[in-house]
Structure 1
Amino acid sequence: MPDDQSPGTEQIPAPIQSTQLTLVDQLVQWGRRRIEERVFRPGMRMPSIRRLALDKGVSRFTVVEAYERLVAQGYLDSRRGSGFYVREAATVGSRSPRVAAAVNHAIDVVWLLRNMVGTTSPEKGPGLGYLPNRWLDGELISNALRALGRQGGAQLLQLGTPQGFYPLRQQLQTRLAEMEIGASPEQIVMTSGVTQALDLIARLYVQPGDTVLVGDPAWFQMFGRFASQGAHLVGIPYTADGPDLAALERLVIEWKPRMLVINSVLHNPTGTSLAAAQAFRILKIAEEHDLIVVEDDIYCDLAMPGSTTTRLASLDQLRRVIYLGSFSKTLAANLRVGFAACSPDVARALADQKMLVGMTSPEINERVVFKILTEGHYRRHAERLRNRLDAVRERTARALELIGFRLFSTPGHGMFHWVDTGVDTAVLTAAGHEAGYLLAPGALFSPNQSPSTWMRFNIANCGDPGLFDFLARAADKGPPP
């Protein structure tokens, strides 16, 4: 690779004799693939002719010819004096139906989810939303499965109940009581993760045209779920201390929303948590304007026990708050065991809706989680995870700051840093994809998906030795000192 080749760009291999592809053909294929994979998005400026020629080790003539072919095929626009840009979806006429359909999708959310599933090296996945497998405890799950197997298979054949495995709901009642949330087993509905819980809530309570308030930034996957229900999403800006409550009040008055969805503890992606005064004010606003409040507490067990955080459900006692939890972040993502705790009427409605869209949730998974929770090992496992996160949090923060990035805040707990890179993180993500890194650009975390210089980093997945050097060069910050 030439010394001046940018990181993250592969050399074009010599043409394979059997395919007879010229360098121009190979570069065209590379460009089409990156556009179809959503690495280069509609409206994005392509790398300059000089830059791409250096990156790929080809002549400028080869790049020009490839770009011109991509223009002719409907992938790019040529703007005199400015460069080549990915053509907007609305103007594409010559692409195949498959490509056009991909362009019209809610772009980057699907792209990131697809790449999250396909990422095999967590060390090169700072954009991932999960802890690496090596941090988790597969023996906890294996032991629980073996214990279930010894009990005989007949009990594993039944369909299950709409609200979920009753002994697990009893155990969750105890866990919730420790957080001062009163919920009987009849007020708890098991779901296939928080994602299904949000889906059921959206189906029940959101009509086309309703406004739903979400964080800006916030967890990107829920945006698509509520939007597909016809909701109008309005973002609440965040400060280093959490949601901007003055802005929240203004938005409620202006938009008259149906629902508010919020992380109270270890907000994704900023890592902030609600203080008691903030929680009280949010509930007061919700009561005055008759808002349904959905409290997503999926990072519950990554918060230090005894930390000064307040859950809305503990203040409201599930009158208007629907509280969501899950074990995907601490046990295993593929167990898909989550739950909603709510008023009895809401619980019955959620269970009925759950039956309509997917029958019951897998009871085998729920029995596994019940075994793990009741055998006494889970608390120590969660403590080990918190300790491991503590060991890398400060080191990761300093490494990011050394290359000129700025932290939104310095969370004392949790797995994320929200960082201002100073450059368009969609472009940075594209360069990372070329280099084999999965990054999470800030645009994904905004309900309007506008360009952003912010990026979420999973501190557990920043262990690749070349990551920070790559980020420094790709963001034109220079190598770290």
Structure 2
Amino acid sequence: MSSVALDQIPAPHDAAALTLVDQLVQWGRRRIDERVFRPGMRMPSIRKLALDKGVSRFTVVEAYERLVAQGYLDSRRGSGFYVRERPAGFAPAERRGADAGAPAVTLVSPDPAPAPSTIDVVWLLRNMLHTSTRPEKGPGLGYLPARWLDGELISGALRSLGRHSGVQLLGFGSPQGFLPLRQQLQTRLAELEIGATPDQIVMVSGVTQAIDLLARLYVQPGDTVIVGDPAWFQMFGRFASQGARLVGMPYTPEGPDLDALEALVETWRPKMLVINSVLQNPTGTSLSAAQAFRILRLAEQYGFIVVEDDIYGDLCPAGYPATRLASLDQLRRVIYLGSFSKTLAPNLRVGFIASALDVAQAVSDQKMLVGMTSPELNERVLYRVLTEGHYRRHVERLRARLDGVRDKAARMLERAGLRLFLAPGAGMFLWADAGVDADALTAAGHEAGFLLAPGSLFSPHQSPTTWLRFNVANCGDPGLAAFLARYLDGVARRAPTGGPANP
């Protein structure tokens, strides 16, 4: 029999005072809002949910009736309760009113929720935003917890801007971005041995917009784009919407499998390769100089563009064995992407593209067509942060904190029964094999109050896998280790003798 538990998050009133009906209503709303239960789906039967949650049938009936009244469910006589199709922007009165600040509630069940078909990229992004206020519950999050970041860096820069005339902030700004910031980035790139003038740099609203602009410019229907398998999942949909054929490049603990890459290039003749050269998401691998040279030789031989995403570069300490493609190529064939969302604030949304001059001009023109200019206020804030002398020390503190938790997170995962792909010496991610279906494990984790990131989302083919990505900064909740160990042990006990451990 399962129990009812409250998430341990700050709330404006005592969470323990909520009735079982209130808790079940909040559980149902959350599952529907996060699209675990989708429009048209039949809700669990009253009898089944009462057994699963350890409550009475009366409690379930009352909760379902409230969800009907609030616009979440339809009641169909003789058939049960179904998730209602709601118009875009729907917000029930209770959600808009006093309950908007109420604590989230999780009813914990020992049985996994077998709903892998509902675990998709949109589901993960939706839940990443929902979990941002509770990072200790989000080992699948893609960014560092707010308590690790330095809000004073941002607020100090805003105060500094506030002492100047506001007239300078009222225009559209430059299509390429705030010139003093681009000049500062020229200096930072030179430290990485990448030569770029300010005219070769275009500011964007993060790497996501950079990928969108490059896809619009260079990818036509039927073109092949090679991406990592696994790799950062948000770009897959962008390229697919352009009609591109996505081909996955496998990874080894030493980095991308370049023999496989060469075979893929010979077969598919790609238009573009997109790659993290430093602290790859999610494997944590980095390119060696020999690997980087080989990739560039293939790019020159077969005529494809290399997009180098270096969003994690600032988390890489000096002297770490990693080579940037742009430092070898000097932006002749490589288009280099950078961002500050991982080190300053996810919502600052300031990134940049460094490229050959003609590419930069084309990107700037495309940027105007799609959304005019990027917000100059954000760019001015970043300029202040970078030039007032505190950013380097802030990044050093982040690296030290990651160093302090990485080994602990790795040992916790191994004790729980997972196998690490690699034990990286830097960065924020661990790629781990649970040995069971990762989507089912993720669904069970969601039911237990933890947001996991299943490896299926990191594959361009979204194929089933046993791998997951873990953010080492968000693995400190002691309940996480207990949940993982309990789930994996339960799967092992249910597996037939000599058969696969498959939930």
TM-score by length of 2: 0.79
Asked whether the equivalents of residues 223 and 244 of structure 2 are also in contact (C-alpha less than 8 Å), the reply is yes
For 1:113, the aligned partner's letter is: L
* Deviations, residues 294-343 of structure 1 (Å, cap 9, x unaligned): 00000010001121211000111001100000000000111100000000
2:337 counterpart SS class: strand
Q: Which position in structure 2 is the counterpart of 1:410? A: 423
**Cross-structure match for 1:381:** 394
Match of 1:320 among 313, 333, 346: 333
The one-letter code matched in structure 1 to 2:179 is Y
- Name the counterpart of 1:189: 202
1:39 is aligned with what amino acid? V
Match of 1:81 in 2: none
After superposition, the Cα gap between the structure-2 partners of 1:433 and 1:338, relative to the gap in structure 1 and judged at 3 Å, is same
Identity of aligned residues (%): 72
Provide the rounded CA distance (Å) in 2 between the counterparts of 1:48 and 1:249. 53
Q: Which moved more, 1:469-478 or 1:228-237?
A: 469-478
Name the counterpart of 2:97.
none
Shift of 1:472: 1.4
The within-5 A match list for 1:163-174 is 163-174=176-187
2:176 pairs with 1:179: no
- Residue 110 (structure 1) aligned with residue 122 (structure 2): yes
Report the CA distance between 1:35 and its aligned residue: 7.4
SS state at 1:209 partner: coil
Distance 1:184 1:223 in 2: 31
Letter in 2 for 1:57: G
Q: Distance in 2 between matches of 1:37 and 1:218?
A: 24
Q: Deviations over 1:371-428 (max 9, x none)?
A: 1111111100000000000000000100100011000000100000000011111111
Paired residue secondary structure (2:228):
strand
Q: Secondary structure at the match of 1:466?
A: helix
Report the CA distance between 1:195 and its aligned residue: 0.5
User: SS where residue 353 of structure 2 aligns?
Assistant: strand
Amino acid at match of 1:117: L
Compared CA separation, residues 402 and 357, structure 1 to 2 (3 A): same
1:476 aligns with 2:489: yes
SS in 2 for 1:322: strand
2:445 to 411, 427, 432: 432
Match of 1:464, as an amino acid?
A: D
CA contact (8 A) 1:169 1:188 kept: yes
How far, CA to CA, are the matches of 1:388 and 1:211 in structure 2?
A: 40
Structure 1 residues 106 and 175: alpha-carbon distance in aligned structure 2, compared to 1, 3 A threshold: farther
Match of 2:495 in 1: none
Match status 1:391 vs 2:404? yes
261, 270, 273: which one aligns with 1:248 = 261
User: Which secondary structure does the structure 2 equivalent of 1:203 belong to?
Assistant: helix
Alignment of 1:73-472 (within 5 A): 96=85, 108-119=120-131, 120-472=133-485
1:39 aligns with 36
Contact 2:36 2:119 in 1 (8 A): no
Q: CA deviation at 1:31?
A: 8.2
1:82 — aligned with what? Answer: none
Alpha-carbon distance between aligned partners in 1 of 2:456 and 2:449, rounded to the nearest angstrom: 20
- How many angstroms apart in 2 are the aligned matches of 1:416 and 1:50? 41
**SS of residue in 1 equivalent to 2:173:** coil
One-letter code of the match for 1:434?
E
Match of 1:78 in 2: none
Partners of 2:368 and 2:391 in 1: CA distance: 30
> 1:192, 1:338 within 8 Å by CA — same for their partners in 2?
yes
Q: Secondary structure at the match of 2:250?
A: strand
Q: Work out whether residues 260 and 294 of structure 1, in 8 Å CA contact, stay in contact via their aligned partners in 2.
A: yes
Match of 2:52 in 1: 55
The answer as to whether partners of 2:417 and 2:488 remain within 8 angstroms in 1 is no
d(CA) in 2 for partners of 1:49 and 1:318? 62
Structure 1 residue 349 displacement after superposition: 0.1
TM-score (norm 1): 0.83
Report the Cα distance in structure 1 between the residues aligned to 2:152 and 2:32, rounded to whole angstroms.
42
3-state SS in 1 of match to 2:489: coil
**Which deviations, in whole Å up to 9, do the C-alpha atoms of 1:52-91 show, x marking residues without a partner?**
775322699x99xx9xx9996898xxxxxxxxxxxxxxxx
Q: 1 CA distance for matches of 2:305 and 2:242? A: 16
- Structure 1 residue runs without a partner (length 5+): 17-25, 76-93
AA aligned to 2:415 is: L
Name whichever of 454-463 and 428-437 sits farther off.
428-437
Structure 1 position 465, deviation (Å): 2.3
Deviation at 1:5, TM superposition (A): 6.1
| SS of 1:110 mapped into structure 2 | helix
Secondary structure of the 1:335 match is coil
Which whole-Å deviations, capped at 9, do the CAs of 1:444-466 have from their partners, x for residues lacking one?
10001111111000010112221
Shift in CA distance, 216/341, structure 1 to aligned 2, threshold 3 Å: same
Q: Distance in 2 between matches of 1:73 and 1:54?
A: 17
CA distance, structure 1, for counterparts of residue 56 and residue 271 of structure 2: 57
* Alignment-derived partner of residue 10 in structure 2: none
Rounded to whole Å, the distance in 1 between the matches of 2:312 and 2:21 is 49
Counterpart of 1:22 in structure 2 is none
Match of 1:84 in 2: none
Name 2:93's counterpart in structure 1: none
Cα distance in structure 1, aligned partners of 2:119 and 2:350 = 28
Instruction: Quote the offset at 1:39 in angstroms.
Output: 3.4
Whole-angstrom CA distance in 2 between matches of 1:35 and 1:146: 41
Counterpart CA distance in 2 for 1:261 and 1:151 is: 41
Shift of 1:234: 0.7
C-alpha distance in structure 2 between counterparts of 1:454 and 1:430, whole Å: 14
